[in-house]
């Protein structure tokens, strides 16, 4: 068997009498077989090991992280405000951190469910705010379209001008615990 070659699940790598089955492998009918797609690697036994057989394992390629899909809830950081939309960098899909860069756009009509025409982007979000949003569509080639129109969606973390973590005081305001100053936001209801 040649090491450093791609292997697929079920492929026989060698005899269990010649190798110790490592990660990404299993033993079946006295044969060591691959259980994942990846590159086979043979590691010599340590000089102090009782069993002097080399270990054979299959190392996966870099695993892909989660990808936003319509209907999933994401956590994103507001990066830029424009008059009719906010740009955001998606940092988590559900509870899992993303490994790739994904951009989201929260359009004015997707900030809240009622009084859509009265939404003012600078009073809903600020750059640096962390928001919980739902992916509503794949958007265009540059960004996913996000929505904060449900009560449990919106700003979950914001920093005041004094550098303190702001505290929500209503569904549309957050307050600095140091200065007492209130700032408007589209606040996510704590679940």
Pairing between β-strand 20-21 and β-strand 55-59 as defined by DSSP bridges? parallel
Range of the domain at 33: 6-59
My answer on whether 123 and 161 are in the same domain is yes
> Does residue 178 form part of some domain?
yes
Q: What total of structural domains would you count in the chain?
A: 2
**pLDDT one-digit tens code per residue, 25-38:** 999 999 999 998 88
My answer on whether 21 and 111 are in the same domain is no
Q: Are residues 165 and 111 in the same domain?
A: yes
| 3 pLDDT more than 60 | no
- In the structure, what pLDDT confidence band is assigned to residue 147 with cuts at 50, 70 and 90? very high
Is residue 49 located within the same domain as residue 104? Answer: no
| Mean pLDDT for the chain overall | 88
Q: Name the phi and psi angles at 74, rounded to 5.
A: -125, 160
Give domain status of residue 108, yes or no: yes
For position 138, which CATH number holds?
A: 2.40.50.140
CB within 8 Å of 79: residues ≥ 6 apart = 87, 88, 89, 127
Residues 93, 167: one domain?
A: yes
Same domain, 48 and 120: no
Q: What is the pTM of this model?
A: 0.66
Report pLDDT digits (tens) over 89-130: 999 999 888 888 899 999 999 998 888 778 889 889 999 999
């Amino acid at each position: 068997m040649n090491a450093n070659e791609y292997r697929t699940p079920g492929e026989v790598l060698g005899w269990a009498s010649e190798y110790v089955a490592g990660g990404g492998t299993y033993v079946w009918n006295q044969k060591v077989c691959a259980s994942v797609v990846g590159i086979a690697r043979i590691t010599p036994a340590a000089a102090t090991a009782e069993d002097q057989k080399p270990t054979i394992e299959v190392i996966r390629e870099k695993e892909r992280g989660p990808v936003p899909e319509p209907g999933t809830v994401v956590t994103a950081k507001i990066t830029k405000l424009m008059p009719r939309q906010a740009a955001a960098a998606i940092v988590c899909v559900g509870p899992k951190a993303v490994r790739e860069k994904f951009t989201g756009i929260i359009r004015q009509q997707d900030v809240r469910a009622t009084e859509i025409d009265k939404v003012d982007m600078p009073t809903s979000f600020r750059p640096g705010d962390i928001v919980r949003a739902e992916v509503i569509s794949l958007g265009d080639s540059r960004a996913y379209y996000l929505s904060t129109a449900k009560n449990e969606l919106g700003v979950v973390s914001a920093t005041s001008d004094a550098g303190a973590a702001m505290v929500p005081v209503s569904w549309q305001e957050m307050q600095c615990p140091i200065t007492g100053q209130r700032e408007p936001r589209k606040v996510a209801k704590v679940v």
